[in-house]
Amino acid sequence: MLIQKRDNSQKNQLFIIATPIGNAEDISNLALKTIGECDFIICEDSRVSYKLLNKYNIKKPIEILNNFNEKKAINNILEKITKVKSVVLISDAGCPLINDPGYLLIRECIEKHIYIECISINCAYLNAAILSGFPTNKINFHGFISKKAEEQYNEIMLLETKTNHSFYITPHIILKFLKNMIDKDLKNLNIMVARELTKNFQTLYWGSILELYEYFEKNPQEIKGEFVIVFYLKEPIVSFDILEVNKLYNALKKLYNDKEIIKIISNILNIKKSIVYQLIKGKKE
C-alpha cells in the first residue's frame, strides 16, 4: 500500500497542469506561477508549447514526451526529475493524460514515490483519474456510489473492463463500502482513493481493498472530507454474456412484465436477480 500526503516542500515533484484549449488567457495564476518556478517542462510538442510560454515570457528547458517516444523517454525523464525540485507536465491543449501521453510516467512516479499533483484541473474525478496510475485512454464517471450494499456490489461488478472508473463516496459510508467489497470476495482488487483533492489535506491512497479497509479502520481521523474512489478492471469480476441477457430481454419483453423477465433470465443464466435488474434498468435509461 502507498500513501502520498500533500507536501510542496519536498524535492522531486511532478505537477500535471491543464493548459488553455483555445484562449491563451484561460489559464490560472497558480498554473503560471508553478510553470515559472519549475526546473523543466515536459510537453508533447515544443513548437505548440512555446507559443503559450512566450506569451507569458516563461523560459524553461523542455523535454518531449509524446505517443511516439513515451516508452523510450520515460527513464531519462525520471532520472532528471530525481535531480531537481519540481517539474511540470503539460499537453498541447487541455488536460494531460486525457487521450494524451503521460499515464506511463505517472505510474512510474507513483512506484518511485515521486510526489504528483494536479493544477488547474478543476474537477475532482478527473484529478483522481489522472493521479490514479491507471490507464486514462478511456474514463467513466459514475457519480456517488450507492448507499445500499447490494447495489454497491452490482455497480462494481458491472464495470466495463480496461476503463478508468471514478465514483464519489461520502466519508460516513466508505468503511462500510470497503467491508462490503471484502465480504463479496473483492479484497484483493487494487484501487485508488483520493481525499480532499487540491486542498491542504490532500491524500492519495493506493492499494488493495483489504489494505485500505484495514488502514482506515486504524486511522479513522482520516475519514473526513471529500473522497473519490478509482477502479480499473483488467478482467470482469463475474463472467457472463451481457449480449445473451439483452437477447433474452428483447425476446421476453412482449410476453412478460419486467419482474417476471428478471426471474426468468436469472434462472436461465444463473445470475442474481439484482444483477439482471441493474442490466435491464441500464437499458431503459
Is the per-residue pLDDT at 285 higher than 60?
no
Dihedral, CA of residue 163, residue 190, residue 273 and residue 255, to nearest 10: 10
What pLDDT is attached to residue 275? 80
pLDDT band at 283 (very low <50, low <70, confident <90, very high): low
Is the per-residue pLDDT at 154 higher than 90?
no
- E strand or H helix that includes residue 210: helix 209-218
Instruction: Provide mean pLDDT across the span 182-203.
Output: 95
* Mean predicted lDDT score pLDDT of the chain: 92
CB atoms within 10 A of CB 54: 10
CB 149 within 8 A of CB 203: no
Cell of 14: 511532478
Q: Is 65 exposed, middle or buried (0-12, 13-18, 19+ CB in 10 A)?
A: buried
Q: Which tens digits make up the pLDDT trace of 7-44?
A: 877 889 999 999 999 999 999 999 999 999 999 999 99
Is the per-residue pLDDT at 279 higher than 80?
no
Helix (H/G/I), strand (E/B), else coil: 204: strand
CA 3 to chain CA centroid, Å, is 15
Q: What are phi and psi of 92, to 5 degrees?
A: -60, -35
CB 237 within 8 A of CB 165: no
- Tell which wins on pLDDT, 241 or 81: 81
pLDDT band at 151 (very low <50, low <70, confident <90, very high): confident
CB 34 within 8 A of CB 119: yes
Residue entry with cell 477502479 = 231
Largest pairwise CA distance in the chain: 70
Q: Is 156 exposed, middle or buried (0-12, 13-18, 19+ CB in 10 A)?
A: buried
What pLDDT is attached to residue 270? 80
Q: Which tens digits make up the pLDDT trace of 215-240?
A: 999 999 999 999 999 999 998 776 66
Least confident of 55-64, 168-177, 266-275: 266-275
Percent of the chain scoring above 70 in pLDDT: 97
What pLDDT is attached to residue 243? 74
Instruction: Provide mean pLDDT across the span 71-91.
Output: 96
